[in-house]
Chain A
Amino acid sequence: MAAALVLFIVVGTLLAVGLGANGPASLGTADLAAIRFTIVQALVSALFSVALAVPVARALARRRFRGRGLLMTLFGAPFILPVIVAVLGLLAVFGRNGLLNEALAALGFAKVSIYGFWGVILAHVFFNLPLAVRFLLQGWLDIPVERFRLAASLGVPVWRVLEVPMLRAVVPGTFVVIFVMCLTSFAVALTLGGGPKATTVELAIYQAVRFDFDLGKAAVLSVVQFGLCALVAVLAWRVSGERALGAGLDRVVQRWDRGGLGVDIVALCLAFLFLILPLGMVVVRGLPSLFELPPLVFEAALRSVAVALVSTALAIAITLAMAIRGGGLISLVGALPLAASSLVLGTGLFLIVQPFISPPKLALAVTALLNAVMSLPFVLRVIQPAVAQVETDYGRLADSLGLRGWNRMRILVLPRIRRPLGFAAGLTAALSMGDLGVIALFATDGQATLPLVMYQLMGSYRTGQSAGAALLLLILSLGLFWIFDRGGRSDAAT
C-alpha cells in the first residue's frame, strides 16, 4: 500500500509531465543554456567539494584534538540547514556588503560579486563539502590499523600505498552523490543564480509555471530533468556508501607517519571558518530583529511547523509500512524519489490536480506530501536496517508469542527502533521545515511557509526582517531535529 502510494506519486506525476510535454521542439536557446548550466555547475560543485574535502578528511582522520566532536557536529549541520538560511549567511560573508568585501574594500581592492555561477558553486560547496568530508573520513577509518603498522615498519609512504588507493575507491561514489544533489538544486539557483547565465533546469521549470504560465514547457523541462537525474541516480545508488549518515566517525586510527601538521591545521581552520562564519552571521544579524518580526512571519512559521509535522508523520508511516515489508523491490521504490526532483513532482501534481481544483488551494497539502516523499530515501536507509535487525534478533520470539500486526509494531518494533526513528523523524522535520521548492510553485499569498516568506523579504530588500526570519527558521529547523532526535535517545533502555 505505502509502496504503491510512493510509486503512484513518483510515476504518476512523471506520466503527467510526460503527457503534458509537447516535444523537444519547444525547448528554446534559454532552456538549452539551462541544461548546460545545470550539468556544468553540478560537475564543478562536486569537483570542488570532493577536492577540498580530501585534506580536511585526512586531517580529521589522523589528528586527535579537543573540540573534534564539536567540529564533526558542525559538519553534520548543513544537511539539515535550510538552504535559504545558508544562502543568507553566505551573503553576509561573501555578499556585496559582507565581511569579505568590506575587508577587500578596506585594503583597497575591488569588490567581488557572489551572484551568478560562482555564487551557486560557493553555496553548493558549503552544503556538500561537509558531506564529502564525512564520506571520505569513513573511507579513512575503514583502512585497518594493521596496514598503517605494516606501512610504518616498511617505511613506505602511507599516502601512496594506502590513502590513494582508498580515495580511488571512495571518491567516485562521493562525487556522484554530490553531483546528483547539485543537479536538482533549486533554492540556491533561485537566490544566487538566475538570469540567462545561471539558471538551472529546476529554476527554469519554476519560471515556466510561475511567470510564463507555460505548463507544456514546464512539462518538457521536467522530463529532461528527470532523465538527467534518473541516469545519475542509478549510478549514485550503485556506487554510494551508505554509512556517512550514521555515527562512528569519532574514532582516530593510530598511525605512525609524522608530519603534515601545518597542512592539517590550515585545512581544519579554513573548513571551520567556512562553515561557522555564515552560521554565525545569521545569528549576529538576525538577533536584533528577531523579536520585532511582523506577524506574517510568525504565521508563516506556524504553517511551516504544521507542514513539517504532517510531513514527518507521513514519511514515518510510509517508511515503517515499507520497512516491515522489506525486500529489494521496496528498496528500489524507496530510492525512486532520489531520481525525481521536488519541482518535477510538483509540476506533475500541478498538472494532475489542475483540471479539478485550483492548485494553490492544495499548496500546503502537496508540500507536506512531497516533502515526505523526498525524504523517503534517507529515512528508509536509516529505518530499514534497524527494522531488519529487530526481526533478526527477536522475530522468532515474537512469532512464538503470536505477536502480529499492530501488537508486534507497538510491543516489539517501535520501542526497539526508537533511536533511528527519532533521528529519521528529526531529519524529515528539518528538511521539510527548510524546504523552499514545491511551495514556491504552488503557494499564493496567505499560504507562504517561512522559507518562502524569508525569500520574499530578501527580494524586497528588507534586510533586517529577512535576517530575523532566517534566525527564526534556523532555530525552528535545528530545534525540530533536536527534539525528535532527543525523543529517540531518552529512556533508550536496552
Chain B
Amino acid sequence: MLRLENVLIEQGPFRLTADFTVKEGAITALIGPSGAGKSSLLSLIGGFYQVNQGRIFIGGRDVTDLPPSERSIASLFQDGNLFPHLMVVENIALGLRPSGRIDAQEAAQVRDVIASVGLEGMGERKPSELSGGQQSRVALARVLLQNKDVVLLDEPFSALGPALRIEMLDLVKERLAGRTILMVTHDPEDAKRVADQVIVVMRGEATQPVPTRDLFEVPTDALREYLGH
C-alpha cells in the first residue's frame, strides 16, 4: 500500500497537492495535461525531490526522509534507464547489488530473468547494440530482479512506436503482477489498456484514484475538458 498524506510540492509558481492511497498490487495510471505535475509527483514518491510538506508511507512505513534506494521502490524514467557503458548482465546485476559483484547463484538469477523477458543470449551486449524495445526489456528485467514493492513508470516506453509500447505495457502487466505500480501516461488508451485505477493530475491537485472503467464511462467535467470530448 502506498499512501500520500497532505503532500505539497511547491516550485516557484507551481503548486500541487496530493492526498491519496493506492491499493496494493494494483496498476494505477496518472493522467493529466503536460506540465500538471505527473512526473514531479512520481519523482517525489521516488525520492528524487524533497517534499515541502506532508508524509509518504509505503506498506505503513514512513519513507519521506529516506534516500531513493531505501524506499522499496524501483523506478523507470523516460530515458537513461541503462548505463550505456555496461553490458546487459552488468546493468541487470546492479539491481541485485550496488557493487555489481554477484555470486554464481545470483548470476544464474540474472540469466533467468534475461531469458524471461525474451533476450536470451544477449547478455554480453551493450545497450547501443540493442533496439529501443530490447533496451526497455533490459530495464524491465532489472526491475523484476530488484524485487521492490512499488514500481514507478515515468513514461519509460514513450520513445517506442505504438505497437512496441503496447507490447511493453502488456509485458509489464504480466510480469509485474502483484506489485504496486504507478505509471505516468499522456495517452488515455494506455490507461484503459492496463490500469486498474486512475489518478487525475490537473489544476494543482492529484485526485483520489478512481476505477478506470468508471472514470472513462462517467468522466468528470475537468477530465472531459482534458480528453476533449
Contacts and interface: CB of A to CB of B under 8 A. Distances in A.
B94 A403 contact: yes
A432 B85 CA distance: 31
A415 interface: yes
A394 B47 contact: no
A432 B41 CA distance: 51
B98 A401 contact: yes
A404 interface: yes
Nearest to B95: A401
Interface in A31-85: none
Contact of A401 (B48, B69, B128): B69
Nearest to B90: A411
A401 B95 CA distance: 6
A396 interface: yes
A403 B95 CA distance: 10
A393 B46 CA distance: 17
Contact of A407 (B48, B77, B100, B126): B100
A285 interface: no
B98 A402 contact: yes
A416 interface: yes
Residue in A397, A399, A411, A415 with the greatest tally of chain B CB atoms within 10 Å:
A397
Contact of A399 (B68, B86, B128, B146): B68
Contacts of A253: none
A362 interface: no
A268 B85 CA distance: 41
Report whether over half of chain B's contact residues are helix, strand or loop; otherwise say mixed.
loop
Contacts of B80: 393-394, 396-397
Interface in A377-415: 393-394, 396-397, 399-404, 407, 411-412, 415
A490 interface: no
A415 B68 contact: no
Contacts of B146: 401
Nearest to A401: B94
Given A401-B69, A407-B98, A396 B84 contact: no
A411 to B, nearest CB: 6
Nearest to A394: B80
A393 B70 CA distance: 21
A400 B84 contact: no
Interface in B76-120: 77, 80-86, 94-95, 98-100
A270 to B, nearest CB: 45
A412 B99 CA distance: 11
B77 A397 contact: yes
A493 B70 CA distance: 31
B94 A399 contact: no
A399 B48 contact: yes
Contact of A415 (B74, B85, B95): B85
Most buried by A among B73, B82, B84: B84
Given A399-B69, A401-B95, A402-B69, A411 B128 contact: no
14 contacts: A396-B68, A396-B80, A397-B77, A397-B81, A399-B68, A400-B46, A400-B47, A401-B95, A402-B67, A402-B69, A402-B98, A411-B100, A415-B83, A493-B84
A393 B84 CA distance: 11
Contacts of B86: 411, 415
A407 B75 CA distance: 19
Interface residues of A, number: 17
B75 A394 contact: no
Interface in A100-159: none
A399 B100 contact: no
Interface of B: 46-48, 67-70, 73-75, 77, 80-86, 94-95, 98-100, 126, 128, 146
Nearest to A406: B99
A494 interface: yes
B128 A493 contact: yes
Interface of A: 393-394, 396-397, 399-404, 407, 411-412, 415-416, 493-494
A407 B69 contact: no
Contacts of B98: 401-404, 407
Contacts of A403: 94, 98
Contacts of A411: 83, 86, 94, 100
A494 B84 contact: yes
A400 B46 CA distance: 8
Given A411-B94, A493-B126, A400 B85 contact: no
Contacts of A397: 75, 77, 80-83
A444 B14 CA distance: 67
A395 B68 CA distance: 11
Nearest to A405: B98
Contact of A400 (B73, B100, B128): B73
A411 B70 CA distance: 19
Contacts of A399: 47-48, 67-69
Given A403-B94, A494-B84, 18 more contacts: A396-B48, A396-B68, A396-B75, A397-B80, A397-B81, A397-B82, A397-B83, A399-B67, A399-B69, A400-B46, A401-B69, A401-B98, A407-B99, A407-B100, A411-B94, A415-B86, A416-B83, A494-B85
A242 B81 CA distance: 31
A402 B48 CA distance: 12
Q: Which 3 A-B pairs have the closest CB atoms?
A: A402-B69, A402-B98, A415-B85
B75 to A, nearest CB: 5
B83 A400 contact: no
Contacts of A394: 80, 83
> Of residues A402, A403, A416, which shows the largest number of chain B Cβ atoms within 10 Å of its Cβ?
A402
Contacts of B77: 396-397
**Most chain-B Cβ atoms within 10 A of its Cβ — which of A393, A396, A494?**
A396
B222 to A, nearest CB: 30
Given A396-B80, A403-B98, A493 B69 contact: no
Nearest to B139: A397
B123 to A, nearest CB: 16
A404 B67 CA distance: 11
A393 B81 CA distance: 10
A402 B146 CA distance: 11
A411 B99 CA distance: 8
A232 to B, nearest CB: 39
A384 B80 CA distance: 20
Given A396-B77, A407-B98, A416 B67 contact: no
Nearest to B81: A397
